[in-house]
Structure 1
Amino acid sequence: MARIALVLAFGAMLAAGLPSPGLYLAIGLGIAAIGAGYLGYSRKSAPGYSRLAGAAAMMVGTLGLLLGTARVVMVLAAIDRIDRMLG
């Protein structure tokens, strides 16, 4: 589970830098990475590496989610600005 969570998390970070549909993909992958990382971290019987990787996936997934969300906010602000300029 930890490897899947890390792949999702770094995929979210990568998708945050992609053109248009990448921001939505970053948000989705970030949420999935947080969930998978939590599942990996919450297993008490798992070895230390798996729990640490789950916590790292939650952190990196959160950063990917925040970057994707920031891009959505910037797009909405730009649309609002253009609307005010034309209206």
Structure 2
Amino acid sequence: MPTTICDDSIRVRVNKQLKSEASEILSSMGLNFSDLMRMTLLRLVAERQLPFSTEIPNKETIEAMRAADRGEVMHHESVSAFFKDRASKC
């Protein structure tokens, strides 16, 4: 388990614009890059996974999300009602 003694460092190369924008956002939260990295690494170790989504939706999923944003969705009272409705349309 990580301790509170900070005895190592990490260097990260990013472009100036990204660094500037990220720094501004972190500053508004009262944080800096070291805080962000420590928080990210602590969650990585505690949860054994990245603390953010890395999934990229495919075209079908993107269209479904857009349809939902437009209100073009079907509503069902339960999962079994969904499957019953779906089976009747086959």
Greater share of helix residues, 1 or 2? Answer: 1
Q: Which has the larger Rg?
A: 2
Q: Which protein, 1 or 2, shows the higher relative CO under an 8 Å CA cutoff with sep ≥ 6?
A: 1
TM-score (norm 1): 0.24
TM-score (norm 2): 0.23
